[in-house]
Each structure stands twice: as structure tokens, then as C-alpha cells.
A and B are shown apart, each in its own frame.
Chain A
Amino acid sequence: MDNAKRGDVFMQNIIKKGKDWVKLSVNQKVYSLSTIYSAGYVFLDRVYIYLDKDNKGKISIWLYPKNKKENLEKLGMEFYNELLNYAHYSSRIKVNAESTKMIMQRALFSAAPSLVHEAEEKEIQDLIQELEEEEKSETKKKK
């Protein structure tokens, strides 16, 4: 099979199209539902979107362009790109969550230094409470 034919087979597997629709098939293990919704939101002006599940458990994304002159294949590929964009965005948010939290805390503490003292106090109180509860449960066990 030459490369062009291989490409056609590949396209047929990931994009199916009809007269006025294009259907994408995605694995939810790769693209979360929230990623699909986010990508869909970007396309709301251009297409009508319907989500369904096929018998293999894959998500079918049906796109019906509002403008009948849209190139269906191109539209489908653009949607796949948007999926990738949002999947990447979500994974970066998860990876950076701890750093973002630290930066926010530092910004808050430098703006209001009294917050540092309050946070430390709260931490000490929590520790004391935790120790007291441990002591209580140990005493109960001994009895």
C-alpha cells in the first residue's frame, strides 16, 4: 500500500463524513470529557455539536457545519487540533498546580505579612489538636 492510500485509510478511521456532517471518534482515555466540551465550545459558532458513544465505548463527536460550504475534512482535523490544545492545557494546569499555589501564597504573604503569622498560628493549632486527639485515642485503647 502506498503512502497516499495509507493516509486515506488513516483518515477514514478517524474521520467519517456524510453530506452535511463529519464524525470524529475519540478515546476517552486520551481525551477527557471536559477536554471535548472545551474544544466543542470553541466551535459553537461554526458547527452544531452532538456527542454520543459507539458500541466500542469510544466517543463520537458529530459536527454539522452551519455554513454548508465548509470543508468537512479540514473542519474535523481542526477539531482534533483543538482537542490536543485543550488536553495539553489541562495537563499543564495539573503539573503546574503546586507551583502556582506557592507563587500565589508568596504574593499574598508579601502583600500582607501578617498572614504569614496567622498561617503559622493555624498550623500550630492544627498540630496541637492532632496530638491531643492521638493522645485521647491511645488512652482509650489502654483502658
Chain B
Amino acid sequence: MIYPFTEKIKNKLFIKLHKDLYDKNLIEKVKEKEADSIISFKSKKSYYLLELKVNDFVDYFDFCNYLIDFRRNI
């Protein structure tokens, strides 16, 4: 199932976040707080790519919402 927020690179699934919409400061803070859930982080063109440790695909959706919620609380 293809969703706009995912990108597959060499059998790894990443969540992609546009740099203009999800700022680096926010992602850095999420990385610190959720260090166990984020396997890797990289930058590609206009996007940040995050590889997440997930049990279910719904975890990707939850992460999108988590970012909205987290931004409000920082």
C-alpha cells in the first residue's frame, strides 16, 4: 500500500517529512525524546527521511500525529 508519507529505499521504509513543514528543531527534539523508536535519520532533497522502529503500519500514522501534537508542546 503506497502512502504519500513513505518512501522505500533498498527494502527499508522511511517516513518522509518536508523540510519546510517539519522543521529540523522539531525533528531533533523528537529524535532525542524517541531515541528508541528512530533507527536512522537522513536528508534527501527537500525531505527528511526517518526510519522508524514499528510493529504495525498504523505506527507511521501515529508518528505523523505525534509530530503535530509534539510541535504544540515545545
Contact = CB atoms under 8 A, between A and B. Distances in A.
Nearest to A37: B71
B14 to A, nearest CB: 14
A79 interface: no
Given A37-B71, A53-B46, A48 B20 contact: no
A33 interface: yes
Contacts of B68: 37, 40-41, 44, 49
B64 interface: yes
Contacts, number: 39
Nearest to A47: B65
A83 interface: no
Contact of B18 (A41, A51, A64): A51
B5 A50 contact: yes
Contacts of A53: 18, 20-21, 46
Given A48-B64, A52-B4, A52-B5, A41 B21 contact: no
B33 interface: no
Contact of B4 (A33, A38, A44, A62): A62
A50 B64 contact: yes
Contacts of B72: 37-38, 41
Contact of A48 (B18, B22, B65, B71): B65
Nearest to B21: A51
Interface in B45-74: 46, 61-62, 64-65, 68-69, 71-72
21 contacts: A37-B68, A38-B72, A41-B68, A41-B69, A41-B72, A48-B62, A48-B64, A49-B64, A49-B65, A50-B3, A50-B4, A51-B18, A51-B22, A52-B4, A52-B5, A53-B21, A59-B21, A60-B4, A62-B4, A62-B5, A64-B61
